[in-house]
Chains A and B, each alone.
Chain A
């Protein structure tokens, strides 16, 4: 498992791996929003939590089809399926690698982008914590979606259509936690619910991912 994780991380970090692409995309979304809604600081302050969460979600979506596509094409996915490591664990590792290369950098960069959108100062901690709890769920759900569409020639658009509705609960609780933090309210309830969703995703979705991969490799 560790070897697979290291391999995936190395592949993502090397040239052409697309590391940093999600981060750049996130930055562009954050830069484009003021052009769309106007530069007034009070408007930006109000919508900053939502924009940051939606931006992080879209940035995570961007790199999903890389999770399995290359491995599927060069046959290493078939090798993984026949290896002693169960496919469920492989799915878990893939999701973890995706999180380390996209979710974690997004989380760490988000407070900086919050500064660009003149977010409420009380919200920074909540933003960091809610993204830290929520982005693993995004990676795991995305891994399932990527496994569903891995056999398709042009699965990218379909992947977004399948995955985005699944992101709804994560987004709701994540953005709600930051909004409550910005308003100075108690945000523990949405954070706990979001942690529950993340834990549930990691408990169930590796099995669904493995089942779907087996079907696609048949």
Chain B
């Protein structure tokens, strides 16, 4: 907990800086796309939030594995802290996608594989959070949610590929991938990278803050329990 105190304000500040620079650059200083017009600019919110929605789940999975193997309490609390942030990221991705989809595809929602798997991811997040909220004993809750997260990850990946089987997509291919020759045109690429960095930093800052809150809440509970015994 000690090292996070100096890190926290910096990560918030850097996240804010990256987001302001990236979004202002992206929204006002990039040209309109020749087919999509200015709607293309929603990419600066849509792609980073979608990326973080998935990464938040992966982070929860890693934290759950650490909790199951090493029983480090902070990792369980970090997984718990990341879940609501991940939900919000998923919602941002779904809503910005809908706003972009209305002028481009003529519909806010289609049962496209990517859209559907995001909706399923949203349901997984809801179940995970609901299980945390439902169990009173913190250690039991941490154990059960960790196992749910691990099993859920397997099924989330299965669902992701199953929906491709079920329906062919409307969504374009990945905007970013590591092995592509060129991703998006450079004018859009650099502000997008800055926005992604901003979202990553924002996620780190929020999770750190929420984890610190959880740890404090746990300490207060322990102190109260001790006070009642004395």
Task: Let me know if A215 and B123 touch, CB within 8 A.
Answer: no
B residues 21-42 in Cβ contact with A at 8 Å: none
- Per a CB cutoff under 8 Å, which of A165, A173, A176, A218 touches B123? A165
State A197–B221 Cα separation when bound (angstroms): 43
Nearest Cβ on chain B to A207's Cβ, whole angstroms: 10
Given contacts A172-B165, A190-B165, contact A165 B155 (CB under 8 A): yes
Task: Let me know if A172 and B163 touch, CB within 8 A.
Answer: yes
A99 adjacent to chain B (CB < 8 Å): no
Residues of B within 8 A of A100 (CB): none
B124 adjacent to chain A (CB < 8 Å): yes
Given contacts A165-B124, A212-B147, A216-B140, contact A204 B154 (CB under 8 A): yes
Q: Interface stretch among B10-18, B128-136, B187-195?
A: B128-136
B residues 127-170 in Cβ contact with A at 8 Å: 127, 130-131, 134-135, 140, 143-144, 147-148, 150-152, 154-156, 158-159, 162-163, 165-166
Task: Let me know if B140 and A215 touch, CB within 8 A.
Answer: yes
Task: Let me know if B127 and A165 touch, CB within 8 A.
Answer: yes
Residues of A within 8 A of B162 (CB): 168-169, 172-173, 193
- Per a CB cutoff under 8 Å, which of B123, B151, B163 touches A205? B151
- Per a CB cutoff under 8 Å, which of B127, B144, B148, B155 touches A168? B155
Given contacts A166-B155, A208-B151, contact A173 B144 (CB under 8 A): no
- Per a CB cutoff under 8 Å, which of A161, A172, A176 touches B130? A161
Interface residues on A, range: 20 to 34
B184 adjacent to chain A (CB < 8 Å): no
B126 adjacent to chain A (CB < 8 Å): yes
Given contacts A144-B151, A215-B144, contact A169 B158 (CB under 8 A): yes
Q: Interface stretch among A53-61, A119-127, A150-158?
A: A150-158
A131 adjacent to chain B (CB < 8 Å): no
Q: Using a Cβ cutoff of 8 Å, how many contacts connect chains A and B?
A: 76
A residues 184-218 in Cβ contact with B at 8 Å: 190, 193, 197, 204-205, 208, 211-212, 215-216, 218
A81 adjacent to chain B (CB < 8 Å): no
Nearest Cβ on chain B to A137's Cβ, whole angstroms: 11
B223 adjacent to chain A (CB < 8 Å): no
Task: Let me know if B147 and A218 touch, CB within 8 A.
Answer: no
- Per a CB cutoff under 8 Å, which of A148, A165, A176 touches B159? A165
A132 adjacent to chain B (CB < 8 Å): no
Nearest Cβ on chain A to B91's Cβ, whole angstroms: 16
State A172–B163 Cα separation when bound (angstroms): 7
Task: Let me know if A169 and B159 touch, CB within 8 A.
Answer: yes
Task: Let me know if B127 and A193 touch, CB within 8 A.
Answer: no
A164 adjacent to chain B (CB < 8 Å): yes
Task: Let me know if B166 and A172 touch, CB within 8 A.
Answer: yes
Residues of B within 8 A of A62 (CB): none
Task: Let me know if B155 and A176 touch, CB within 8 A.
Answer: no
A interface residues (Cβ-Cβ under 8 A, vs B): 144, 148-149, 151-152, 155, 158, 161-162, 164-166, 168-169, 172-173, 176, 190, 193, 197, 204-205, 208, 211-212, 215-216, 218
* 27 interchain pairs, CB-CB under 8 A: A148-B144, A148-B148, A149-B131, A149-B134, A151-B135, A152-B135, A155-B134, A158-B130, A158-B131, A161-B127, A165-B120, A165-B123, A165-B124, A165-B127, A168-B158, A168-B159, A169-B159, A172-B162, A172-B163, A172-B165, A172-B166, A176-B165, A193-B162, A204-B151, A204-B154, A208-B150, A215-B143
